[in-house]
Structure 1
Amino acid sequence: MTVTTNGRSAQPKPDGRSTRWDDHRAQRRASLVREARRAIHDLGPGASMDDIAAVASTSKSIFYRYFEDKAGLRLAVAESVVRGMHRRLAEASHEAPSPHAALRAMVRTYLQTIESSPNVYWFVTRTAIGGNEPDDDSARSQALGAYLDSVITLVAEPFAEAAGVPQATAAAWAAGAVGFVRGTGEWWLGHTRADGLTRDELIDQVTTWLWNGPVGVLHQEPAGNRPSVAPLTTPQES
């Protein structure tokens, strides 16, 4: 209610009890997100709400009170992962001494993050495995979409600086780069670290590919070091 004093309108003072409750609720929600991440890290992306609640030493109804359903929890975990990864990517980019070093640092940061907890990564990027709780791909896509857009901006800055190209051109390249790194990282995770391909080796290779272009890199290598690739043919040529 608006209070009028001497002809002036003033907003009522906030209720201290309401503010304390909001603060408590926010802290409790953040604590439950941390517990959920710990449970998923240990149990896998298919962990049920009962499993997650048990690890948090609480009940499933408490999680539903704060997140409504599993889709709500998934979105909250995704937002937590996104915030942390974006912060680390920004730090890696801004602390690097050169655009090339910034690109390499961001590739390293991304791969380190997904490798540190593959289960949590799969939980927020893929549909749940098992369980009967409703799932909402659109909610997860919303969080990941906002993350990818912000990362594209981060990646575009050093590229635009190094290449001296318009921001739109840099953003187009960055969008492809982000998708490339994500796809390569997921392939690496899904193939038991790609049968012996170490993270540092992958970082070096991906950074080189993105900086110089994979076709140009392979073209410059001696023929004996290049993989054998069959020529493309059309149906008329086969």
Structure 2
Amino acid sequence: MPGRRVPSAAPSPPSALPDATSVDGRSTRWADHREARRAEFVRVARRTVHHHGPDVSMEEIAAAAGTSKSIVYRYFTDKTGLQIAVAELVVRQIRDALEAVLHHVSTPREAVRAMVAVYLEMIESSPHVYAFVTRDGSVESGGPLGHFLDAVTALVAAPFARALTEEAADDEEQRAAALADAWGAGAVGFVRGAGEWWLAHRGEPGTPDRETLTAQVAAWLWAGPVGLLAREHPRSTTTPTTAPAHPAAQHPTGGDEAAPTPREQR
């Protein structure tokens, strides 16, 4: 009796699992979408704060973005996280404006004035945004204020550090860089204090305008430790280029979307 025929195994169906390439592609697209959405929330938050003040709620920011507060919280753990994100945007805009201005200067003294001008222009063009990123926070690095000041300090110390280290001996470069960092922290604190005093006293008799205050604060900084350090590490004499009279005015950093807008106080 012939043996029973065993049917051949049916072919295996194609795997239902996606290959690694498609998974990676979707993950990348999702990450890009999430980053773009987060950046949009930051821009909306800045615009809302600029127009309505630093006390705006997360509900108001969400409404301006056309969504709900719960959706916003998917991108920021809390309001502090949003403050830090807006501060990062402000610092990037300060950096871009300062870098543009520094192309027109050739000495550390001109760089000091440019830094003061850019900073004061930023706080004047949008006091609400400035208050939002510097309020209700510890000066420790984890808070909005500390995060903002740390970033600005590193930014403004960079050109002075280059000025010191270019002429320093190899064994002095580390010391010169550390001195530049110390100066950056002190300079930012000084400019911040002078700027906040000025915001509180604008319009009062005797209060200088922004251009006058810029020149005065820069002169004070230069006459103090920054001038001393520069004289200890003189640079080769160069023919200075013509710097803009008021560089910050040509590279606005504040306001709604960092575009030139009528000042809020008007």
Question: Would you say 1:85 and 2:85 are equivalent positions?
Answer: no
Match of 1:102 among 105, 111, 119: 111
Structure 2 counterpart of 1:143 = 147
* Offset, 1:60: 1.4
Match of 2:214 among 203, 228, 236: 203
CA distance in 2, matches of 1:153, 1:44: 30
Question: Would you say 1:48 and 2:57 are equivalent positions?
Answer: yes
Q: Which runs of 4+ in 1 moved over 4 A?
A: 161-165, 193-196
* Offset, 1:44: 0.5
Question: Would you say 1:60 and 2:69 are equivalent positions?
Answer: yes
Structure 1 counterpart of 2:179 = 169
TM (normalized to structure 2)? Answer: 0.65
TM (normalized to structure 1)? Answer: 0.72
* Offset, 1:56: 2.1
SS at match of 1:181: helix
The structure with more radius of gyration: 2
Q: State how many pairs are aligned.
A: 197
Q: Which amino acid aligns with 1:87?
A: D
Q: Contact 1:92 / 1:105 at 8 angstroms: preserved in 2?
A: yes
* Offset, 1:102: 1.4
CA distance in 2, matches of 1:123, 1:35: 14
Q: How does 1:110-189 map to 2 (within 5 A)?
A: 110-127=119-136, 138-154=142-158, 156-157=160-161, 160=164, 166-189=176-199
Q: Which amino acid aligns with 1:185?
A: G
Q: Contact 2:53 / 2:128 at 8 angstroms: preserved in 1?
A: yes
Q: RMSD across aligned C-alpha pairs, in angstroms? A: 2.9
> Cα–Cα, structure 1 residues 174 and 137, in superposed 2: closer, same or farther, change >3 Å?
closer
CA distance in 2, matches of 1:21, 1:67: 17
> Structure 1: any 5+ residue segments left out of the alignment?
1-11, 129-135, 215-238
> Structure 2: any 5+ residue segments left out of the alignment?
1-19, 226-266
Structure 2 counterpart of 1:73 = 82
Q: Contact 1:159 / 1:170 at 8 angstroms: preserved in 2?
A: no
> Cα–Cα, structure 1 residues 30 and 112, in superposed 2: closer, same or farther, change >3 Å?
same
Q: Which amino acid aligns with 1:171?
A: D
